[in-house]
Amino acid sequence: MKVSDSLYAVGEYAKAIDKLQELETKTEKVYLQLAKSHAANRQAEMALEYYKKVLSGSPNRVLTALDYGRLLVDTGKWEKADSLFKVLTKTYPENANFKFQQALIKEKLKDSLAMHYFMQTIALDKTHQGALYKLAKNKLKHHQYTMAEHFSKTGLEVNPNNPSLLSILAQTYSSLKLYKKAIPPYESLIELGENSEFIYSKLGFAYYQVGDYRKAIDHFKNALELEDRNSSTHYTLGKLYALTGDLENSETHLLMAILIKKQPVDAEYLSLGLTYKMQENHKDALEYFIKALQENPDNERALYERAVAADNYMADDKTVINYYQAYFDKYESIGNDGMVYRAKTRISDLKQKIHLAGN
């Protein structure tokens, strides 16, 4: 037994099992160690058989029953696990962990009562981290943001470094568009080493929304280091660089967004066209506004900007009028008031210019 225990301690599970099998007389303690060794050696079926032997002789071994139940869950034997934890919760009605295990099984079984069992868990232990996370996640999924915030903050009062609850809290604030409040939990996640593309992107977007474009750019760049083929990240970076006046980087990232993304890309083409417009490169701006319309003929801004770019680039006023007229005819009654007014005014001005030139 001592040799087997030593081998188990250093991860030599197969050798530990061999030593235990050499024993002629196998006691309950031996069977229990065989169960643990087989479980550690990923021989779940053998482990389950030994756990059953132990429990058949000593059904009141609570910790053994718990290990047995968890292994049943891990091997997908949820009905058997459910029966076991049902007995345990009935025998120990004040044990929050047994109730939590039962809730997890109900969740696996797609039982609609799963959330009820998680609620029962926190009724027994109001600080139970696992149950609070499950409840908070469920409330976030169903857009019950007040309750998602409540369950997250309740758990974080006890364990402020729980990454799962910090993530739910941050996402809840993002969903509510409370970006200033979302930033601290996202920052905490990164400090804890949870530096995923998802978190960097979410944090970057939060900084974008509060107007801190430099920090937003830094976090989106971090997201790209983890996944450089995300067209949405390139697109957002393109817009951010344009806002900070870095038109060269804006162009680079918007072009990358277009190259990566398949369908549709009218928004990317529009943003790239606006970047060229800010550079006063009206020829390229016109080209990309036309591309945006080819992707989506109902992009109002692209239709208007096409006329503006043509106005700045083309010498043929009649063609420019046609572009403005195409926008005005389509959006006169439903479009942006400012753009409709400017298009109408410009049509009038150009017609007058042509008339005077004819005279």
Q: pLDDT tens digit string along 283-338?
A: 999 999 999 999 999 999 999 999 999 999 999 999 999 999 999 999 999 999 99
* Residue 359 scores a pLDDT above 80: no
Average pLDDT over residues 55-75: 91
pLDDT of residue 5: 86
pLDDT > 90 fraction of the chain, expressed in percent and rounded: 87
CB 242 within 8 Å of CB 275 = yes
pLDDT of residue 8: 86
pLDDT of residue 291: 95
| Secondary structure letter of residue 160 according to DSSP | T
Residue 153 confidence class, pLDDT cut points 50, 70, 90: very high
pLDDT of residue 2: 86
The CATH number given to 128-194 is: 1.25.40.10
Q: 74-78, 182-186, 336-340 — which is least confidently predicted? A: 74-78
Closest by CA position to 303, among listed 275, 329, 277: 329
Average pLDDT over residues 46-57: 92
Token pair listed for 349: 């001005």
CA distances to 147, 172, 198 from 169, rounded to whole Å, are 10, 5, 15
* Residue 358 scores a pLDDT above 80: no
| Average pLDDT of the chain to the nearest whole number | 94
- Count H helices, E strands: the chain? 21, 0
214's CB contacts (< 8 A; 6+ apart) are 244
Closest by CA position to 223, among listed 246, 193, 209, 202: 202
Burial of 53 (0-12, 13-18, 19+ CB in 10 A): middle
Residue 187 confidence class, pLDDT cut points 50, 70, 90: very high
Task: Return d(Cα 37, Cα 44) in angstroms, integer.
Answer: 10
Q: How far is CA 248 from the centre of its chain?
A: 30
Domain ranges, ordered by start, for the chain = 128-194
Backbone angles phi, psi at 125, to 5 degrees: -145, 100
pLDDT > 70 fraction of the chain, expressed in percent and rounded: 100
200's CB contacts (< 8 A; 6+ apart) are 190, 219, 220, 222, 223, 226
Nearest 10 degrees: Cα torsion 237, 239, 243, 248: 70
